[in-house]
Amino acid sequence: MPSNKTTAPDFLPDPPSSDAFDNADGFDPSAAFEMPGNIAPAYDAQSPGAPLPPPAMIAEELPPFALDNDDIMPTTAPVMDAEEPISRINGVDQPVPRITIRGFCERPDTAALINQAASDRRLSRAHVQTELGGLPAAIEYFHDENTPNLIIIESGMRGPALFEQLEELANVCDAGTKVVLIGAANDIGLYRELMRRGISEYLVPPLNPLQLIHAVADIFIDPEQPFAGKVTAFIGAKGGVGASTIAHNTAWEISRVGEMETTIMDMDLSFGTVGLDFNQDGGRHLGDALDDPSRVDDVFMERLMTRCSEKLSLFTAPATLDREWELDPAACETVIAQVRAGTPHVILDLPHIWSPWVKNTLFAADDVVIVASPDLASLRNAKNLYDLVQAKRPNDAPAKIVINQYGMPKRPEIPIKDFADALGVEPVLVLPFEPQLFGQAANNGQMISEIKADAKCAEGFSFLAAQISGREMVTTRPSFVARLFGRG
């Protein structure tokens, strides 16, 4: 069937003569590749019209997949030693924009890998579809269909057979279409030739979802936006466990001791306390941005922001009951993205409610902190939250658990070791119950370290700030949780 495409895509230009290539690595694109023994008889490189072996037969020669991130380290063709993906800026992975992706695989394992990557928070805005059939299926499909932003192809073919079919694919693709090829030959010469012909990325199994995500993100992340801050979401396992207090004190330590620009976003629009905790009463608030995200830009956000110290800024909540706030998840995403574009660390103080926007915001954060108290209700809720966050973010670090108000007099408590055993993870921090210290700080609109810098809780906040920011804070004693588990 003749192609209905009128514009050539931006990959696979006409190959130059073989003299134009650097043969230092022994690669000559004009020469036939040696095919695997059980495939070579089915294809004669000197007879381009000969039938190709079936995709299933070729797929047998592809390297094995490993879908478990713990089993392998990501590998690529040996082309460069990149310490960080381009899409990882300041150690923070950037989400992929709203694009369409179509995968054509030769093995079910590859389709499963792409679908697993598609469920990751970094690809949450992309529309991904996969099917089997490899290159031949892609060529046939796009004869009559418009091509997506990205095509992911798996092919076990090598040499002229591969290039011929890639040229056929180019003839039925729209301009601007990008192609990622998952292939069999771990060859730097092949990689260079594919890049020269316009293939966006070439990957060789074994792969894991995060490697594929980085490959896609590196193609579509805007290089003109070279900065993005880390977003950490704090949420309480139940009301009254002190999640907001811990979020505010941790942000204070990141900005003060770590000397890093930090912004707190109080997402509890009805009952938020960030204004009270820092003794700030801004006239405008975060609700103004969430009401109309189309107005959000640097100037508008600057007007809403309250500068608390040289390196700490606040987006306060209206904290009134004049209206019910039913937030749009997309609006939250837009506003948070605008804030992180100008601040190295963004601390989200999430309310203890369960709604679509809270779930989406929690799962989209770079780091999650769950605050609980040592009682049965907190244990149950923390376990549910922890397991759900881990299931929704399989390629991210697990949520951090903080136990607050430990040692409250006359209250029956679950021992920390039993709490950790039931939860399946040790808490990163245990904070003792100190009502006088916390009460004084709240009434004065101050942080714990401002009231008593050598308090155990102040040390704990500094420790948690170091865990989140990755910057070493000044701590001289082992953390309380380390002593509880005999590691101090």
Instruction: Give the residue among 464, 30, 43 at the shortest CA–CA distance from 254.
Output: 464
Q: Are 141 and 74 in the same domain?
A: yes
Q: Are 466 and 377 in the same domain?
A: yes
Q: Which of 17-26, 39-48, 165-174, 271-280 has the lowest mean pLDDT?
A: 39-48
- Which tokens in the block code for residue 433? 């119950």
- What confidence tier does 237 reach under pLDDT thresholds 50, 70, 90? very high
Is 5 part of any domain? Answer: no
Is 2 part of any domain? Answer: no
Is 27 part of any domain? Answer: yes
For strand 88-89 and strand 92-93, is the pairing parallel, antiparallel, or unpaired?
A: antiparallel
Residue 199 phi, psi (nearest 5)? -65, 135
pLDDT for 10 equals 52
Q: Are 132 and 92 in the same domain?
A: yes
Is 469 part of any domain? Answer: yes
- What confidence tier does 300 reach under pLDDT thresholds 50, 70, 90? confident
Q: Are 340 and 196 in the same domain?
A: no
Which range marks the domain in which residue 38 is found? 18-220
Q: Are 202 and 273 in the same domain?
A: no
312's CB contacts (< 8 A; 6+ apart) are 251, 252, 255, 256, 262, 263, 264
> Tens digits of per-residue pLDDT, 156-171?
887 788 888 898 898 8
Show which of 167, 191, 220 is a domain's final residue.
220
Is 298 part of any domain? Answer: yes
Identify the burial level of 293 via C-beta atoms within 10 angstroms of its C-beta, where 0-12 means exposed, 13-18 middle and 19 or more buried. Answer: middle
- What confidence tier does 96 reach under pLDDT thresholds 50, 70, 90? confident
pLDDT for 311 equals 87
Is 4 part of any domain? Answer: no
pLDDT for 1 equals 43
Question: What is the rounded distance in angstroms from the CA atom of residue 384 to the CA atom of residue 111?
Answer: 30
CATH number of the domain at 177, please: 3.40.50.2300
Is 10 part of any domain? Answer: no
Q: Is the pLDDT assigned to residue 26 strictly greater than 80?
A: no
Question: What is the rounded distance in angstroms from the CA atom of residue 391 to the CA atom of residue 451?
Answer: 40
Q: Are 142 and 28 in the same domain?
A: yes
Question: What is the rounded distance in angstroms from the CA atom of residue 323 to the CA atom of residue 45?
Answer: 72
Q: Is the pLDDT assigned to residue 28 strictly greater than 70?
A: no
CATH number of the domain at 313, please: 3.40.50.300
Q: Are 41 and 189 in the same domain?
A: yes
- H-assigned helices in 221-324: 243-256, 274-277, 286-291, 298-304
Q: Are 198 and 242 in the same domain?
A: no
Mean pLDDT calculated for residue range 135-155: 90
Q: Is the pLDDT assigned to residue 25 strictly greater than 70?
A: no
Tally of domains within the chain: 2
> Tens digits of per-residue pLDDT, 405-424?
999 998 999 999 999 999 99
Is 154 part of any domain? Answer: yes
Q: Are 154 and 260 in the same domain?
A: no
Show which of 160, 191, 220 is a domain's final residue.
220
Q: Is the pLDDT assigned to residue 441 strictly greater than 80?
A: yes
Q: Are 209 and 265 in the same domain?
A: no
Instruction: Give the residue among 281, 214, 269, 208 at the shortest CA–CA distance from 244.
Output: 269
Sequence length of the chain is 488
Other residues' Cβ atoms within 10 Å of the Cβ of residue 444: 12
Q: How many angstroms from the chain centroid is the CA of residue 50?
A: 45
Q: Are 293 and 385 in the same domain?
A: yes
Nearest-10 Cα torsion for 158, 161, 162, 166: 180
Q: Are 364 and 398 in the same domain?
A: yes
Show which of 220, 252, 282 is a domain's final residue.
220
Strands (DSSP E) along 66-169, which ranges? 88-89, 92-93, 100-105, 127-132, 150-154
